[in-house]
Copies of this chain bind each other. A is one copy, B any other.
Amino acid sequence: MTPAAERVLEVAGKLFYDNGIHAVGVEAIASEAGVTKKTLYDRFGSKDALIAHYLRRRDERWREHVIRVVEQRGRIAPARRLLLVFDALEQWIAEENPRGCAFVNAHAELPDAAHPGRDVIREQKQWLLEYLRTLAREVGVRNPRKLATSLLVLIEGANVTSTLGVVPGAVGNAKEVAKQLIESS
């Protein structure tokens, strides 16, 4: 990844997320990054490929963030560690996610299932589900898969509702429900 490509990706991440993918032209990205369109196309090949790169990069940051928050403290009960995912979400929303889940938003703008970005979207959700499942297994519940599914639903729901601004304390509420859910599993 060349320095120019890095700048393009960074700018694209900001513009795509803030304004929506279709609303942003490659010309705007190039000029904002201090790069010519030629360079942009030399590095990424097409806008669609750039979109996929943008999503991949954001997914990487999200995963790192979750893992950092969940695994920062050394000794902690597995059930509490599972709940830390909700704290990670709350921080993520406050710091990087004012316009909602970038992957849900991208999915709304990419109806073509063959779009290269669609794979990234699917993988992002799949990873979170698997991660939750792993944590749930460590808790020792009867049905880790089912619990992980429920928690994913709560997380996605909290993300959407808190973004839409209808319910301010959506993440905290979801965390409470999750706690109750874990205890009764």
Give which listed residue, B20, B105, B161, contacts A153 with CB less than 8 A.
B161
State how many angstroms separate the Cβ of A14 from the closest Cβ of chain B.
12
Assuming the contacts A18-B111, A121-B164, A173-B146, asked whether A154 and B156 have C-beta atoms less than 8 A apart, the reply is no
Q: What is the count of identical protomers in the complex?
A: 2
Residues 120-147 of A contacting B (Cβ, < 8 Å): 121-122, 125-126, 129, 146
Any B CB within 8 A of the CB of A119 = no
Assuming the contacts A104-B104, A173-B146, asked whether A153 and B125 have C-beta atoms less than 8 A apart, the reply is no
A23 touches B20 (CB 8 A): no
Any B CB within 8 A of the CB of A163 = yes
State how many angstroms separate the Cβ of A85 from the closest Cβ of chain B.
14
**Inside 8 A of A122's CB, which chain B residues have their CB?**
164-166
Majority-rule SS of A interface residues: helix
A107 touches B161 (CB 8 A): no
A167 touches B129 (CB 8 A): yes
Interface 9-mer from A43-51, A56-64, A68-76, A177-185: A177-185
Q: Which residues of A contact B (CB under 8 A)?
A: 18-20, 22-23, 99-101, 103-111, 121-122, 125-126, 129, 146, 149-150, 152-158, 160-161, 163-167, 169-170, 173-174, 176-177, 180-181, 184
